[in-house]
Structure 1
Amino acid sequence: MRHVDHRLLAAARDCGHRSPATAAAARALSFSGEHGALWLAAGLAGAAADRERRRAWLRATALTGAAHAVGMGVKRLVRRPRPDGGAALVRTAGRHSFPSCHATSATAAALLFGALSPGVRRLAAPVAAAMCLSRLVVGVHYPTDVVAGALLGAATATTGARWAMRDVPARPRLRARAPGGWSRG
């Protein structure tokens, strides 16, 4: 597994070193995701824009911050060194790599914010995926760091989802009806 981890990292890192546009995008995503900043700002913007679900947006934002904090705690326990063997395209806040806290907060936010709004889901999911990949392109995480971070973010979001969404009105579900198709109900 270690060999695969290193090969995938090298391939992603090469993309950033060969393409200035890819490197710039990866740097921007990495910078905006530092300490979950992009996701915390997005959650606060959602709370400001969606009065009906304001409290849920604030709880989802808090849970996204908590996911990031959990990732930092795991990182301090595991203490896996960051990749070496190539110049990273960004500076990092710390020396440890596992798990990727960018992936943790991005995944938690995409799941939680996406549950609040289908439109946000269509935007947040690809941005979160791109942010996860950016950490490989800039050369500061191994693929297993990113996968572990995403799993930790998903677990945190899933664990806290009931609390975060407790006063969100249920959306009508589609159900089958006899010949003629679907109906709302």
Structure 2
Amino acid sequence: MNSEDSALYRDITDFAHDTPMWVQHGAGIWTEAGLLVFAALFATAWWRARRDTPHAFAIAALAPLATAVAYVCSEVLKSAVTEERPCRAVAGAAASLAACPPHGDWSFPSNHATIAGAAAVALALVRRALLWLTAPLALLMAFSRVFVGVHYPHDVLAGLLLGTLVALVAVRLGRGPATRLAEAMRTSSAPAVRWFTGPGAAPVTSYGSHARR
């Protein structure tokens, strides 16, 4: 392992132990609860997209799927690299604030950072303004994985990059077929299917378009 990366890991974990207890507990909670925040944002984006165009709905529906694909890619890469967790491998490091994952639960890349990166980008593709919210959340989640001692800095950087790349590619490749599927589902005879996709955007009527009586 790169000695500079190990040194940075020790610096961050030493800093973590010097922070107030509420900061340590907050980081421990956020490192897992952040996933729930992104799940809630996915649900909100889907609900709003039910009253939008088929194209917008397709991207909102693809966002969690793209994130799931990114997670699978991260797991495959982990199995190929088999990097040991720093909480076991770095000599002289402070004890991790979170429980060190067992041997075989490899370190590179960070699944949490991959999910956060993919979710942040996918949600920004749904609504560009969301990037101001999702990017800081993703960066905070990635940093928290090093802060609590279960990942190297390069693990989370690689995870963010991997998640970003996979989300961009997955949404780009899937938005055409997904848009056509959304259009078909909105004309389905099954009420549950129509409820899932929503009624779509309300028709725009121009002022004064009604005939005068």
Shorter-chain TM band: 0.7 to 0.9
How is 1:1-185 mapped onto 2 (pairs within 5 angstroms)?
2-19=2-19, 20-33=21-34, 36-51=35-50, 52=52, 53-84=56-87, 85-91=93-99, 95-166=105-176, 167=179
Give per-residue Cα distances to partners, 1:44-103, cap 9 Å, x unaligned.
Answer: 221023321333211111111110121112112211110134322123665310000111
Percent of matched pairs sharing the same residue: 31
CA distance change for structure 1 residues 116 and 146 in 2, over 3 Å: closer, same or farther? Answer: same
Higher strand share: 1
Give per-residue Cα distances to partners, 1:121-158, cap 9 Å, x unaligned.
Answer: 11100000000100110000001111111121122012
Contact 1:40 1:64 in 2 (8 A): no
Structure 1 length normalisation: TM-score? 0.79
Q: Which runs of 5+ in 1 are unaligned?
A: 168-185
Runs of 4+ in 1 over 2 A off after TM superposition: 36-42, 91-95, 163-167
CA distance change for structure 1 residues 8 and 24 in 2, over 3 Å: closer, same or farther? Answer: same
Give the distance between the partners of 1:41 and 1:87, measured in 2 at CA.
32
Give the distance between the partners of 1:127 and 1:133, measured in 2 at CA.
10
Number of equivalenced pairs: 165
Give the distance between the partners of 1:124 and 1:92, measured in 2 at CA.
27
Q: Which runs of 5+ in 2 are unaligned?
A: 88-92, 180-213
Structure 2 length normalisation: TM-score? 0.70
CA-based RMSD? 2.0
Contact 2:62 2:171 in 1 (8 A): no
Does the residue aligned with 1:80 lie in a helix, a strand or coil? coil
Q: Which of these two proteins has the greater Rg computed from alpha carbons?
A: 2
